[in-house]
Amino acid sequence: MAKPLRNTPAWRTRSFGIVLVLAAAGVQAQDRQAPSQVLSQSLPDMVPLLDGTTDKLGPELRNEANNALSPAQSQDLEELKQIANSSAQSGTANVVAARAAWVLGLIFLHGTGVRTDVVQAHQLFEQAYEKGERLASAGLAWCALQGCISMPNVQAAKKWIDILRSVEPARARYFEWLSKTRLAPLPVLSVEEGNPQAGILVHRQLLVSAAMGGDVNAQIELGLESAVLNRYDKALQYFEAAAPRSLVAADNAAIVKEQIISKHAKTGEEIQPPFPSHNAEALFKEARRYHRGEGIPVNYNEAIRLYRMAQTAGSLQAKRMLNLIYARTSPDGQLDMGWMRQLSDADVSGPTPQMGRSAGPKLLHREPTPLYDLLPKPWKTK
């Protein structure tokens, strides 16, 4: 039997580090600041920006293969387990054990370095709550809504959401909105007589209130809504408000910025960059911009014209690209638009062209779960 780590000086040193991580997780949960301004809720025309395969009825648990743990993470994981399962002899030790169980629950819920296990996550959330970690009510509310150990149960979630109000009011309002609009099998709307939209508006106000309270998930949700409705400026405000605590929000903000640049270019609001010199490399790069639509509207005719100029100036990459373009044309010699789109991401730097990722539109996303922002930073993955 392995010698218990807790009897060694090394364990005490590393345990201090673990306690700091646990404390940071607690501070992170309390460090919530509301945005400094109220954001408009206008609803213009729609544009499809969401990922149809992942953005369905709200955040989902991921079951794909997990990233392997580093040696330090493996040791930390074992120590977290020991701390969580220790028989606390003092109030402080009990608080640390409760925090360890909470962090372990988040790790198993999101499958960071371990296989996703929602049943184990639920057990750890219960353990954390019984030891005094009231923030674990957020995990138990999510498990009730998602169905970690049984069918989703909105009524069971209500108990935990009510407890969560005293810990994180904004997150509690987000969970309430989620339960009434996304995860409830048969959402019951509080409809005023003669106004069938009243219930929907009441529910949406929960989301707005959660966002103004600083909840990351609510800010992302309103950003997605604004982007889908073609309100890019408003979407950017929401995503940027959440970006300091969410890589997903930061990525969404970058995508929306590209959309804004493209929109301005199409409407003539952006000054076009000066035409490049007759340098082969500069001409090829400019041709790629028009081919891909990087900050400007896609223009295949202009791309081909610049590819030809680059080839004349000595660009081997431009020559390879032109050979690819004209290797597949329509029977009457016209460009194949589908083929042009595929080639927009082709790598022609080597003798054998390599097809890159799809040149289709970049997609906006939600967090994996509404608890992901509570996961300590060392356990988050890109």
Nearest of 149, 146, 203 to residue 176 by alpha carbon: 203
Burial (CB count <10 Å: 0-12, 13-18, 19+), residue 380:
middle
Residues 220-278: tens digit of each pLDDT? 999 988 887 888 899 999 999 999 999 999 999 998 888 787 666 555 444 444 444 56
- Quote the CA–CA distance of 258 and 324 in Å, as a whole number: 28
In the predicted model, is pLDDT for residue 146 greater than 70? yes
Burial (CB count <10 Å: 0-12, 13-18, 19+), residue 337:
exposed
Tell me 354's DSSP state.
E
Angle at 213 between CA 211 and CA 219, to 5 degrees: 20
Which tokens in the block code for residue 309? 């100029």
In the predicted model, is pLDDT for residue 45 greater than 70? no
Which tokens in the block code for residue 140? 């138990």
- Quote the CA–CA distance of 134 and 147 in Å, as a whole number: 20
Average pLDDT value for residue range 151-159: 90
363 close to 52: Cβ distance less than 8 angstroms: no
In the predicted model, is pLDDT for residue 43 greater than 50? no
- Range among 39-48, 90-99, 273-282, 291-300 rated most confident: 90-99
3-class DSSP string for 39-94: CCCCCCCCCCCECCCCCCCCCCCCCCCCCCCCHHHHHHHHHHHHHHCCCCCCHHHH
Q: How many CB atoms lie within 10 A of CB 121?
A: 27
The more confident residue out of 23 and 258 is: 258
Average pLDDT value for residue range 48-69: 43
For 307-311, the CB contacts below 8 A with 24+ separation are: 309/278, 309/283, 310/280, 310/281, 310/283, 310/284
Query: Minimum mean pLDDT among 160-169, 236-245, 272-281, 286-295: which range?
Result: 272-281
Query: Minimum mean pLDDT among 171-185, 214-228, 257-271, 289-303: which range?
Result: 257-271
- Quote the CA–CA distance of 11 and 8 in Å, as a whole number: 5
**Non-local CB neighbours of 117 within 8 Å, separated by 6+ positions:** 108, 111
Backbone angles phi, psi at 50, to 5 degrees: -80, 155
pLDDT of residue 202: 63
Average pLDDT value for residue range 58-85: 68
Residue 142: band (very low, low, confident or very high) from pLDDT cuts 50, 70, 90: very high
Which tokens in the block code for residue 231? 């309100």
Average pLDDT value for residue range 79-104: 85
pLDDT of residue 160: 97
Which residue type is seen at 50? L
Share of the chain above pLDDT 70, in %: 68
Residue 168: band (very low, low, confident or very high) from pLDDT cuts 50, 70, 90: very high
pLDDT of residue 302: 86
Output the pTM of the full model: 0.61
pLDDT of residue 12: 44
Residue 157: band (very low, low, confident or very high) from pLDDT cuts 50, 70, 90: very high
Residue 147, Ramachandran bin (φ over 0: left; ψ between -120 and 50: alpha; else beta) = left
In the predicted model, is pLDDT for residue 24 greater than 60? no
- Quote the CA–CA distance of 326 and 343 in Å, as a whole number: 11
Average pLDDT value for residue range 307-311: 92
The more confident residue out of 168 and 40 is: 168
How many angstroms separate the Cα of 281 from the Cα of each of 213, 287, 318, 321, 351? Answer: 50, 10, 9, 13, 17
30 close to 214: Cβ distance less than 8 angstroms: no
